[in-house]
């Protein structure tokens, strides 16, 4: 099962990366854009079982694709992707409340951590912390969560 | 079986990690080259679609203000009618200048046509669809049809290359303010911002003045357009004047670019 997840991520992430670098870049709001790969890392790591480690590989994969379409050295975003996946795995048990609240907290923590790491890594270029980026990705994450939940409920009813 | 013990597992993952790092270090360019070759057409399609969709949505969101804008326009209409004659003359002059620039561009430089594939989300870098196979090499300048400077090629792949835009943080090149001929240093600030530095204190830098590259010693051929001066600051404590530039080049609207081959 983890192997399938990684293979599917490998294919889906590629299209998401192209979509992000070629299409979404035109929809920047105050310097922030929707980063579907980052949101995907958070989703995968939040919803996977405790003993499953494929979320870390998915984090690395998503980072690798971000690397391919960035001007930084290869491995920069790969490392950040793995770090974000690790951070979610660490933070998730600490924020166990109701499912949605827990997800919202983890989503926010993941996005905040990503921005922090990116800011620290690029500190020589000045302060690049972008609040809008967090807001956009947070809203996108919440919307996707509710869509998936609705879809899940509908499918469950249908099969029952 | 070989991962029976924790020690073996650690060794395995360490070897995998070292292997990946080595690949990343030594095969950076070939990996990117392969991916750009594979996905070039898809990236190009996404870029064009993004361009048209963003224009549509920009118009859609502005529609809410159309009523207010309409009222204002009616008020302004009377005043503008009196200036119509002047505008017509300016339009003709503009067209003549455009033609002159167009003719000069082909004669002045050896150019290679290119289109944007992707743009970096964190830095002012873009990838265009021409690479080694098209004779592109590092250091070549990239411009638009109107002779507006965009940036410089910094990394070349087989069918694509990476362009560092003039607005990227840390870029520096020599420029000249038109009319007054004042020399200055253009500095990229990131996020599509550009400023002018090292302007002599006593120099006259009018708002709206055109800024163009000063020559090869500044890193680019002379006479490439940059933008207009939008703001100046001449603080007593500073040894030089500074100015902000309103760039002519808007990457989101760019359709066709040219790489100066020589």
How big is the A-B interface in CB pairs under 8 Å? 85
Query: Is this complex scored with an ipTM above 0.90?
Result: no
Give the pLDDT of residue A112: 94
Are residues A69 and B57, on separate chains, in Cβ contact within 8 Å? no
SS3 of residue A35 by DSSP: coil
Give the pLDDT of residue B78: 60
B171 domain-assigned: yes
**How distant is the Cα of A125 from the closest Cα of chain B, in angstroms?**
7
A111 lies within 8 A of chain B by CB? no
Higher pLDDT, residue A130 or B106: A130
- Domain around B94: 29-262
B35 contacts on A by Cβ (under 8 Å): 68
Q: Which residues contact B190 (CB under 8 A, 6 or more apart)?
A: A125, A126, A128, B123, B124, B167, B168, B169
Please write the tens of the pLDDT for every residue from B30-75. 888 888 888 888 988 998 898 888 877 776 666 666 667 677 777 6
Give the pLDDT of residue A115: 92
B21 domain-assigned: no
**How distant is the Cα of A25 from the closest Cα of chain B, in angstroms?**
7
Q: Which residues pair with A77 in a beta bridge?
A: none
**CA A55, CA A58: separation in Å to the nearest integer?**
5
Cα–Cα distance list, A29 to A33, A149, B98, B145, B191 (Å): 6, 28, 33, 28, 12
**How distant is the Cα of B233 from the closest Cα of chain A, in angstroms?**
21
Q: Is residue B205 a contact partner of residue B177, using CB atoms and an 8 Å limit?
A: yes
Please write the tens of the pLDDT for every residue from B113-160. 999 998 888 888 999 999 999 999 999 999 988 889 999 999 999 989
Sequence-ordered alpha helix ranges (H) in A48-98: 54-68, 76-91
**CA A159, CA A66: separation in Å to the nearest integer?**
38
Sheet holding B141-144, edge to edge: B111-114, B257-260, B141-144, B149-156, B161-165, B125-128, B116-119
B18 domain-assigned: no
The fraction of chain A above a pLDDT of 70, given in percent, is 95
B13 domain-assigned: no
pTM for the model: 0.79
The CATH number covering residue B168 comes to 2.40.10.350
Q: Which residues pair with B183 in a beta bridge?
A: B176
Give the pLDDT of residue B28: 83
The length of chain A is 160
Q: Is residue B242 a contact partner of residue B233, using CB atoms and an 8 Å limit?
A: yes
| A17, A23, A56: best to mutate for the B interface, most B CBs within 10 A | A23
B22 domain-assigned: no
Q: Is residue A75 a contact partner of residue A66, using CB atoms and an 8 Å limit?
A: no
**Domain layout of chain A by residue ranges:** 2-159
Residues 36-65 of A with CB under 8 A from B: none
Q: Is residue B200 a contact partner of residue B182, using CB atoms and an 8 Å limit?
A: yes
CATH code: domain A2-159 is 1.10.1760
Domains contained in chain B, number: 1
């Amino acid at each position: 099962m983890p192997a399938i997840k990684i293979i599917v991520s490998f294919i889906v992430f590629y299209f998401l990366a192209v979509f992000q670098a070629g299409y979404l870049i035109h929809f920047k709001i105050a310097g922030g854009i929707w980063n579907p790969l980052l949101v995907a890392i958070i989703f995968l790591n939040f919803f996977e079982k405790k003993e499953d480690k494929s979320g870390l590989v998915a984090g690395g994969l998503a980072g690798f694709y971000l690397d391919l379409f960035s001007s930084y050295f290869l491995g920069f975003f790969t490392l950040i992707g793995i770090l974000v996946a690790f951070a979610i795995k660490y933070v998730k048990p600490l924020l166990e409340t109701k499912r949605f609240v827990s997800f919202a907290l983890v989503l926010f923590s993941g996005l905040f951590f990503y921005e922090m790491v990116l800011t620290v890594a690029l500190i020589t270029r000045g302060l690049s912390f972008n609040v809008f980026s967090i807001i956009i990705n947070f809203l996108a994450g919440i919307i996707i969560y509710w869509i998936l939940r609705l879809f899940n409920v509908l499918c469950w009813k249908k099969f029952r | 079986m070989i991962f029976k013990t924790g020690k073996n597992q650690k060794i395995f993952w360490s070897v995998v990690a070292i292997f990946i790092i080595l690949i990343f270090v030594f095969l950076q360019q070939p990996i990117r080259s392969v991916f750009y070759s594979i996905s070039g057409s898809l990236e190009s399609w996404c870029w064009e679609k993004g361009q048209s969709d963003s224009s549509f949505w920009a118009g859609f969101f502005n529609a809410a203000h159309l009523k207010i804008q309409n009222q204002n326009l009616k008020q302004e209409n009377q005043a503008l009618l009196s200036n119509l004659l002047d505008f017509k003359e300016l339009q003709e002059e503009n067209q003549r200048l455009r033609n002159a620039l167009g003719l000069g561009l082909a004669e002045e430089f050896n150019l290679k046509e290119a289109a944007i594939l992707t743009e970096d989300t964190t830095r002012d870098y873009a990838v265009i669809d021409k690479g080694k196979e098209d004779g592109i090499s590092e250091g070549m300048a990239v411009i638009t049809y109107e002779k507006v400077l965009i940036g410089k090629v910094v990394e070349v792949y087989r069918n694509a290359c990476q362009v560092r835009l003039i607005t990227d943080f840390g870029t520096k090149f020599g420029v000249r303010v038109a009319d007054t001929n004042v020399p200055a240093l253009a500095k990229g600030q990131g996020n599509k911002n550009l400023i002018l530095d090292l302007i002599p204190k006593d120099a006259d830098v009018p708002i709206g003045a055109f800024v163009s590259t000063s020559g090869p010693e500044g890193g680019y051929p002379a006479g490439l357009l940059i933008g207009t001066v939008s703001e100046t600051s001449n603080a007593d404590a500073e040894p030089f004047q500074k100015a902000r530039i309103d760039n002519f080049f808007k990457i989101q609207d760019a359709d066709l670019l040219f790489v100066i081959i020589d």
